[in-house]
């Protein structure tokens, strides 16, 4: 059972440091029959990560897409940017256990991958785990409900 509505496209975006990973993840997802909405970037030219993180976060926030994937060198910039959006819980993941816990305990809806610090096969595994792990709820639900500012 999947944790997200995979009838909707998966949002993906990156800056120049994440371009190769984005292309590989799109191929990985499409090979497994998932629909992907690519928010860029499309070249190796230096770009500003918020220009790509905001559209991905907006698409998840408005339920246009089922969940999001953001990639940059450290994943910090895209995570900080995405987390400015109400209802977004973007988690920096660098190993399988972190991806699983981001879903189980934090109900994260965007996975942020640090391309300079993980191998491509690790990124694929983390995305797969993130997609398939459902939020545990229970004691974690009240904590997640306290995240948004009122």
Which residues participate in catalysis according to the annotation? 72, 105
- Please give the sequence-ordered ranges of beta strands (E in DSSP) within the chain, or none if there are none: 10-14, 36-38, 68-72, 90-92, 110-114
Angle at 90 between CA 108 and CA 34, to 5 degrees: 70
Q: Is 41 left (phi over 0), alpha (psi -120 to 50) or beta?
A: beta
Residue 60 CB partners (closer than 8 Å, separation 6+): 11, 66, 67, 68, 85, 88, 109, 110
Q: In the structure encoding, which two tokens stand for residue 88, read together?
A: 């977004």
Cis preceding-peptide flag for 50 (omega within 30 of 0): no
């Amino acid at each position: 059972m999947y944790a997200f509505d995979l009838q909707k496209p998966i949002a993906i975006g990156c800056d120049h440091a994440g371009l190769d990973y984005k292309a590989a993840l799109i191929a990985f997802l499409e090979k497994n029959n998932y629909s992907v909405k690519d928010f860029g970037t499309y070249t190796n030219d230096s770009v500003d990560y918020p220009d790509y993180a905001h559209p991905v976060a907006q698409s998840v926030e408005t339920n246009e897409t089922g969940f999001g994937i953001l990639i940059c060198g450290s994943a910090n910039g895209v995570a900080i940017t995405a987390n400015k959006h109400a209802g977004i819980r973007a988690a920096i993941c660098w190993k399988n256990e972190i991806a699983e816990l981001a879903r189980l305990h934090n109900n994260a809806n965007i996975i942020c991958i640090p391309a300079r610090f993980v191998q491509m096969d690790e990124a694929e595994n983390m995305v797969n785990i993130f997609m398939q792990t459902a939020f545990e709820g229970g004691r974690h639900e009240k904590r997640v409900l306290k995240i948004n500012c009122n």
